[in-house]
Amino acid sequence: MEFRQLRYFLAVAEYLHFSEAAAFLGIAQPPLSQQILKLEKEIGTRLFIRHSRRVELTEAGRLFRERAQRIIDDADLALAEAQNAGRGETGRLVLGFAGSTVFHPLVATVLQRFRSAYPGVVIGCEESNSSVLLERVSEAKVDAAFVRLPLDCRGLATQALVEEDVLAVLPPRHRLARRRSLDLGDLAGDPLILFPRPIGPDLYDSIISACHAAGFNPVISMESPQISSTVNMAAAGFGVTLIPSSMRQIQAKGVTYHDLKGGTLHTTIALVHRPREKAPTVQNFVRIVRDAARHAPQG
C-alpha cells in the first residue's frame, strides 16, 4: 500500500465521482480507477459501490476513510515538523551567560529578536563565568554563550556583539566623588576590588596592565565572585572597582560612577559557539547576533 493510493482513495471518497476526483488530483481517470481497484484487491474487499454516474462508500470504505485520513494527517504533520526542525524553527537552544553580560540591553534585544523570529524554539539558560562557559560550549553542554573579551576562546568561533568602556566605581564619600571623569592613575592610592583571575584571566591581566601603564601597582583588597558583585563591595567601603559601562544601572547606595579619561580600558561582549556548527537553531541565533552587531552603538 502506498501513500499515493491513500490520497487517491480519499479524493474519490470526498467527491464520490471518479472524473471529479481525477480532475482534482490532476491525473487521468483510468489510472485513478486502476489504483483504486489495486487498493481494493490488496485489502480484499470493495471500498466503493459503483453506479453509472457516481460512487458511494461501502461500510468498509467508510471505516477505511477514517483510518486513511488519520494516516495522511500524521504523515503531513511529521513532514512539517521535520521541515521546521531542519530550518531551526523548532527544537531547543541552550545559551550561556557570563553574569555581567546580562546588564547590556543589546543582549536582551538579541533574545527578543530570536524569540520573535522563532517562537517554536525552547530556550534554556545557564549563567556562569566566562571561563566555565567556554568549557561548557566545547563539551556541547551549551550551544552558545555570551562572554566577555579579552578571553582565550580556545578555538571556538567568536562573534563580537558590542564593545563597552570600563568605568570606575567609587565607594560612598570618596574624595573624588564629585569628579565626572578620572584618570586611572587617580586611583593609585585606593584598594582595588577585582574578580578572581581564573574567572577571566585575560580581562584581569588587561586591568592590571592598564594600572601599570598609569604608573602604579594596584593593591587588591578583595576578590568578588562575579564582576557584578564588585559594586556592592564598593558600596560597603572595601575599595574602588572597575566595571563595564552597562553595569552602571546597578543601584548600590552611595557609590558613584566615573568615566576613565582617554578610553583607558575596554571590554567586549561576544558570542562563542562551536566552529562549523550544523544545528539550524544555533546558525539562526548566530545570524541574529551578527546582524545586531553590525548596527550596535559602541562604547
229, 167: one domain = yes
Q: 272 has which bridge partners?
A: 145, 158
169, 255: one domain = yes
285, 140: one domain = yes
Q: Flag whether 299 is in a domain.
A: no
Q: 260 has which bridge partners?
A: 182
Other C-beta atoms lying within 10 Å of the C-beta of residue 116: 9
217, 101: one domain = no
190, 251: one domain = yes
Per-residue confidence (pLDDT) for residue 9, from 0 to 100: 85
Q: Flag whether 290 is in a domain.
A: yes
113, 156: one domain = yes
Buried b (16+ CB within 10 A) or exposed e, 162-198: bbbbbbbbbbeebeeeeeeebebebbeebbbbbbebe
Q: Flag whether 73 is in a domain.
A: yes
Question: CB of 180 within 8 A of CB of 170?
Answer: no
Report how many domains make up the chain. 3
Q: Flag whether 233 is in a domain.
A: yes
Q: From 86, 109, 128, give the residue that closes a domain.
A: 86
179, 255: one domain = yes
Q: From 86, 109, 129, give the residue that closes a domain.
A: 86
Per-residue confidence (pLDDT) for residue 178, from 0 to 100: 93
41, 56: one domain = yes
Per-residue confidence (pLDDT) for residue 192, from 0 to 100: 95
Report mean pLDDT in 10-residue bins for the chain, 299 residues.
84 88 90 90 90 88 88 74 67 88 90 92 89 92 92 89 92 93 92 88 89 92 84 92 88 91 86 90 92 76
59, 33: one domain = yes
Q: What is the CATH number of the domain that holds 283?
A: 3.40.190.10
Q: Flag whether 49 is in a domain.
A: yes
80, 109: one domain = no
Question: CB of 284 within 8 A of CB of 118?
Answer: yes
Q: What is the CATH number of the domain that holds 12?
A: 1.10.10.10
Q: From 33, 64, 86, give the residue that closes a domain.
A: 86
257, 138: one domain = no
**Residue closest to 144 by CA, chosen among 126, 129, 162:** 126
Domain encompassing residue 253: 163-267
69, 98: one domain = no
**Residue closest to 264 by CA, chosen among 208, 195, 194:** 208
Q: Please enumerate in sequence order all residues whose Cβ is within 8 A of that of 55, keeping only pairs 6 or more positions apart, or say none.
A: 12, 16, 17, 18, 48, 49
